[in-house]
Structure 1
């Protein structure tokens, strides 16, 4: 999610006077922009919290419930707790690395620690992860359109009709919004997306509680524990859900320089998003049971007023989130091929060109892959596991002056090994699921 910041010229005289009377701005909790000694304008606490929250939630709300079908309620919940905790640990490691090396993002960090080869590897992983997210947004949005079409009595005869709907929706709304004419006016949408996410959680959770405790519609097929081949795809989805380390450096860098305050705001974000995602996902699974679909909202009666409202909210969330994430891909392409990483400095023609390349790839993913959960999970496999768990620890091992067998380094070795092994395993199973989904679509 793009961090909303004002230019130095937009700082008011009042703020400058406040800074002169309080030069220790690094330790201030005032929730407005602060001017530090280098002349940078730092984002406030609430703004940083909003940006961090938006960076890791969107597709997860509709994709996480299907993971309960793979392993049951207990193991899935435990998996989410473990992945969230490990991601939080990795996030703290990256906050430490940023404070030590003063990097701008993962690519910058990799270049400093490992050189050009490491930078290329991280770039490839980052692109795969980002496209898995943006492609999922388009699939989720098209699922909403398909659901409303069915309510209106339109018949979706086969999977290719669904692909047609996906293509039309993508081109008319999210893709169009990702072009320069629209994206420059979207900074304020970050707060709206957070509000929509909270509203969705309260609405779908309240509806589920009513179904379970008042209408006695607890699904008899909801299991405490089970096993299926999609277990590792489920873990991949959990990794994507809490993959804040991949995106946090550019956001956290604009916040208070105090490391403990940065860790605090990141920790708050993890707790907040874990509660939102876990609460809604657990309750939805208890209502739908084994009938839970990859997109959970399609598991329920599409004519139910609460479900319709929830679909509208999720439609807005993914449609409005897509342009922000696509912009990061556009900036990546522009930096690699034009040497300019700042979107604002690109010519209008180059903005159109790089945005078009990003959008073409996303639309193709949306058209040919019907299951958003598998695509979302693919991003959490090798890309997510390596960048979230292995990469931060490997960087620490590379720059540390402590002995390799110190407890701290042993912990980094365990974390790095876990990320590599889990990434390889999850990738194998997720690729198989992607292949199966494509074949099903091809023959239907």
Structure 2
């Protein structure tokens, strides 16, 4: 079933070209320039990519700073963000060299059909896990956020106090309609809203640094002691430059996952107006740079507010100290809405992976598009509603698929497809990516296993 003869390439975007990696050569299709309508603007592409980068991970970076120290955190954040940008550079270079427009097809070019299938499955699993975790957060937090606007006397079993009902309504009314567009550029409007929500969160974190006393109120420190989240060896109001503890191992995986946007890179590249590798690399650099700034500022001021008592989810600390503060209440809703608006961006590459694996280069079909969207969203919704704790399952899967998609696959594909010498700069960089990705995957998996042992 096709639309006026349009193929998948027309509606999902086509990128790549046998240009030898020319950074100023427009994207080509089958060796010839493609006639196409005006694509997404530079700004809208930046918003979409930032929305793919930023999610609930921003809430955990202050905790990562508390366990690595300010300078230690900055060094790690610079290293991880730089490696993420470099792995995007390799993906875009391969896209121009091969003329392929999908991450899965790059896997197929490098390692034949097994490579294509493995990459496609990795994308689907990773993105289903990400969407499920976001919807799980909504199910848990949205009723409590709504309750803050109600008077204490209002209690009972109202429908708006049931997280499952709210989750279904939000999915049907917001996520599903946004997810139906076959063009990822359409989501730039909601992505810009999500970005300003994240910006508002960062501003609130900075402002509240001057509103919360140090030492913290006695009820907070008592609660921290009960939850065993405070490091008693650190003075309450003393910032540390370097910290090495058993919890420091959580920092690198948290940062790496906070820059994972690689499954959305090629779809955004394909729809970019005047698409060249240099232009898309600039989109990636601006997106990662702005995300880096928001991450660093929110982590720094969040840490300097709570010091050793910072929570693994930063908002929890504000809710304990000033639960009824209007800025805290609004920023809580803003983060939940930003997370909700991130789901369609994450769904897009998962659906494209399914379409590539099942239908290959067949003409675009609205029937297949709609069915795959509904099935993927249905799976995510069922997981978020009925699985009591999905963090362990997707923690294991995410620790492997995330490190592969972020570092290992781009490096391996470049070494396999590129004809450059192994002594070239990019080949050496690809080796570094693969080694770093393997180390990060092993570290992430080990951290999860250790947390299981400690909790049991």
TM-score tier (shorter): 0.7 to 0.9
Per the alignment, do residues 417 and 181 of structure 1 end up closer, same or farther by CA in structure 2, a change over 3 Å counting?
Answer: closer
> 1:84: which partner in 2?
81
Provide the residue aligned with 1:353 in structure 2: 375
CA change 1:395–1:229 in 2 (3 A) is same
Is the 1:236–1:378 contact (alpha carbons within 8 Å) kept by the matching residues of 2?
Answer: no
1:99 equivalent to 2:96? Answer: yes
Contact 1:175 1:359 in 2 (8 A): no
TM-score with structure 2 setting the length? 0.75
Report the Cα offset of residue 264 of structure 1.
1.8
* Alignment partners' CA distance in 2, 1:341 and 1:80: 42
- The match for 2:439 is 421
| Match runs of 1:384-399 below 5 Å | 384-399=402-417
Output the CA distance in 2 between the equivalents of 1:8 and 1:105.
14
CA distance, structure 1, for counterparts of residue 207 and residue 425 of structure 2: 46
Give the one of 308, 315, 329 matched to 1:308: 329
Deviates more, 1:286-295 or 1:223-232: 223-232
d(CA) in 2 for partners of 1:226 and 1:271?
25
Q: Is the 8 A contact 1:8 1:39 kept in 2?
A: no
**For residues 395-406 of structure 1, what are the structure 2 equivalents within 5 Å?**
395-406=413-424
Distance 1:402 1:182 in 2: 40
**Paired residues for 1:289-300 under 5 Å:** 289-300=307-318
- What are the within-5 Å matches in structure 2 for residues 209-220 of structure 1? 210-211=210-211, 220=237
> CA offset at residue 299 of structure 1?
0.9
Cα root mean square deviation, aligned: 3.5
Task: Name the TM-score, length of structure 1 as normaliser.
Answer: 0.77
Does the 8 Å CA contact 1:59/1:133 hold for their aligned counterparts? no
Aligned-residue offset at 1:47: 1.3
TM-superposition CA deviations, 1:222-257 (whole Å, max 9, x none) = 433323333233211111111233321111222233
Check the 8 A contact 1:331/1:341 in 2, yes or no.
Answer: no
2:276 equivalent among 258, 277, 298: 258
Q: Are the counterparts in 2 of residues 237 and 380 from structure 1 also a CA contact under 8 Å? A: no
C-alpha displacement at 1:293, in angstroms? 2.0
In the superposition, relative to structure 1, how do residues 143 and 44 fare at CA in structure 2: closer, same or farther (>3 Å)? same
Match of 1:321 in 2: 342
Question: Compared with structure 1, are the counterparts of its residues 430 and 165 closer, same or farther at alpha carbon in structure 2 (3 Å cutoff)?
Answer: farther
SS of aligned partner of 1:253: helix
Whole-angstrom CA distance in 2 between matches of 1:83 and 1:120: 27
The 1:200/1:431 distance shift into structure 2, 3 A limit, reads same
Question: Quick one: higher RCO (CA 8 Å, sep 6+), 1 or 2?
Answer: 2
CA distance in 1, matches of 2:369, 2:74: 47
Match of 1:284 in 2: 302
Unaligned ranges ≥5, structure 1? 1-6, 10-25, 29-35, 157-163, 440-444
CA distance in structure 2 between the aligned counterparts of 1:402 and 1:324, rounded to whole angstroms:
34
Q: CA 1:92–1:291 in 2, change beyond 3 Å: closer, same or farther?
A: same
- 1:103 aligned counterpart, secondary structure: coil
Q: 1:361 to 1:175 in 2, by over 3 A?
A: farther
Within a 5 Å distance, the mapping from 1:172-211 to structure 2 comes to: 172-174=169-171, 177-179=174-176, 183=180, 187=187, 188-208=189-209, 210-211=210-211
Question: 2: distance between equivalents of 1:428 and 1:332?
Answer: 29
State how far apart, in whole Å, the 1-side matches of 2:131 and 2:254 are.
14
Deviation at 1:398, TM superposition (A): 1.0
Aligned residues: 395
2:245 pairs with one of 228, 240, 265: 228
Distance 1:285 1:155 in 2: 35
Q: Cα gap change, 1:337/1:155 in structure 2, threshold over 3 Å: closer, same or farther?
A: farther
Matches within 5 A, 1:24-39: 37-39=33-35
